[in-house]
Amino acid sequence: LPHPLKDPALFKTQSYIDGTWVHAPDGSTFAVDNPANGKPIAQVDNMGVADAENAIRAANKAFRPWRARTGKERAEILRRWFDLIIANAEDLAQLMTLEQGKPIAESRGEIVYGASFVEWFAEQAKRVSGDIMASPNKANRMLVMREPIGVCAAITPWNFPNAMITRKVAPALAAGCTVILKPAEQTPLSALALAELAHRAGIPAGVLNIITADSERSIDIGKTLCDSPVVRKLTFTGSTPVGRILMQQSAPTLKKLSLELGGHAPFIVFEDADLDAAVEGAMIAKYRNAGQTCVCTNRIYVHASVYDSFLEKFTAKVTNLKVGDGFTDQVTQGPLIDDAAVAKVREHVKDALGKGAKIATGGKDHAMGGRFFQPTVLSDITEEMLCMREETFGPLAPVVKFTDEAHVIELANNTEYGLASYFYSRDVARIFRVAEALEYGMVGVNTGLISNEVAPFGGVKQSGLGREGSVYGMDDFMEIKYVCLGGM
Ligand code: ADP
């Protein structure tokens, strides 16, 4: 680390089960490296199936007393966790850039964003209510209660090592559920630091358990969590193929599922757009986290009448991005997470060039080598290109010319994905028309940044199930119980 942590006790490498820090019983560990230079930064305990079973037992034992607390009591504990996250924000940000690579300014932003879910759901914990329905007959009174689902499993990705955890754990705990979390093998340190703060906040033993594992053992642990009838719900953020596997594995126990999967976000610039604002929005929607977010735009459609002007302005901005180690001042694009991520961007560029695309800027591995790739813009795009069909998850923006509104909507919807979408227009009728026509869970109009704790985040089609954040976020962790009072 460029600066040692203010609180070195936040650097944890063991797993956190039933309120205690535990080693893998067989002594196995896996390496976590710094994506900026490939150097190992920690050996983390590599837990297995037996540890997952221990965690399930602990979460099950902790469930009854946790749900028996009042919402207000749970709120107070979550609020303490929030306060501790904010008080330790700089250390958490440093750990994140170290293991994930994103620029330190983005890491700092993510800690605040991640903490906002803990604060929000601490507040929401106090606001659970039911209903009294009008009965169709005079003898009955009909009540609806909302109750926690029970033990929940959570599996999270590496692109937001903090926020993807808080966005799941905070609503689960607020609802009265207990959690077993398996963080991504690339970024366990951020997860374990959160566990340490949860412990200090007084989250009781067994209520939050974090088990770390390498990619191989993660698969076995995932299977164990899915197979268990004790685990009532699985919440997952990651790729669509893994989401499908988890859904399949959850069928025998008919688990409730929340799945936040891949996206293929279109970004449409209409002829009546504020062009400079659209360029700014596209920069944020594409190059944040080096293009490694599920809401990153994957394809930019620009009306023919403003295409040249947009391409010129956008390319100039992209060329000005500063690539480097996330700890270096002024860096706006860090390394990609691993070699496979770089290989995918390379493949998408090569495929596009082979099918007639032209490079507006970038297009190659960065001179720094390693996992750094040049921020890239391609023009002369056709729909057959890989980058127009698959999520690139990297710093590549294909810019496509269009002329007709109905046609561009059809192109935008022509994908199995339905997570985020964006468009720029100043015509009110068009704004409603297009927002309604886009088959996406989220639509950004005249903005490239849509996520916050108040918004219901989630996708339609094969981008997933359920919503996170917002007043709806706790519903995913609650069941509805109907009580019928007869003979009244
Ligand atoms: P990405 O492509 O972003 O790495 P993945 O979907 O592969 O996304 O991984 C997201 C999370 O899912 C990680 O925590 C990873 O360990 C976990 N994971 C990957 N494959 C499986 C699997 N078969 N079963 C359970 N968890 C898995």
| Active-site option among 226, 294, 296, 387 | 294
Is 294 one of the annotated active-site residues of the chain? yes
Q: How far apart are CA 158 and CA 100, in angstroms?
A: 7
Q: Which residues line ligand 1 (CB under 6 A)?
A: 155-157, 182, 184-185, 215, 218-219, 222, 238-239, 242, 245
**Model pTM?**
0.98
CA-wise closest residue to 18 among 169, 232, 179, 221: 179
184 CA from centroid of ligand 1 (Å): 7
Average pLDDT for 159-163: 98
What's the length of the chain? 488
477 CA from centroid of ligand 1 (Å): 21
State yes or no: pLDDT of 95 exceeds 90: yes
State yes or no: pLDDT of 473 exceeds 80: yes
Q: What is the pLDDT of residue 7?
A: 98
Is 296 one of the annotated active-site residues of the chain? no
User: Tell me: the pLDDT tens digits for 49-75?
Assistant: 999 999 999 999 999 999 999 999 999
Q: In the structure encoding, which two tokens stand for residue 298, read together?
A: 């994957």
Average pLDDT for 113-118: 98
Q: How many CA atoms lie within 13 A of 203 on its CB side?
A: 36
Contacts of 173 (CB under 8 A, 6+ apart): 66, 74, 77, 78, 121, 125, 179, 203, 207, 208
- Tell me the residue type at 66: W
Q: What is the pLDDT of residue 3?
A: 75
State yes or no: pLDDT of 116 exceeds 80: yes
User: How far is the CA of 229 from the CAs of 57, 175, 221, 233, 253, in angstroms?
Assistant: 11, 20, 14, 10, 6
User: How far is the CA of 216 from the CAs of 27, 222, 223, in angstroms?
Assistant: 16, 10, 11
Q: What is the pLDDT of residue 469?
A: 97
CA-wise closest residue to 173 among 212, 208, 128, 129: 208
Q: What is the pLDDT of residue 104?
A: 97
Q: How far apart are CA 107 and CA 36, in angstroms?
A: 15
State yes or no: pLDDT of 278 exceeds 80: yes
Q: How far apart are CA 309 and CA 301, in angstroms?
A: 13
User: Tell me: the pLDDT tens digits for 408-446?
Assistant: 999 999 999 999 999 999 999 999 999 999 999 999 999
Q: How far apart are CA 414 and CA 439, in angstroms?
A: 9
Q: What is the pLDDT of residue 258?
A: 98
* Cα pseudo-dihedral 168, 172, 178, 184, rounded to 10: 0
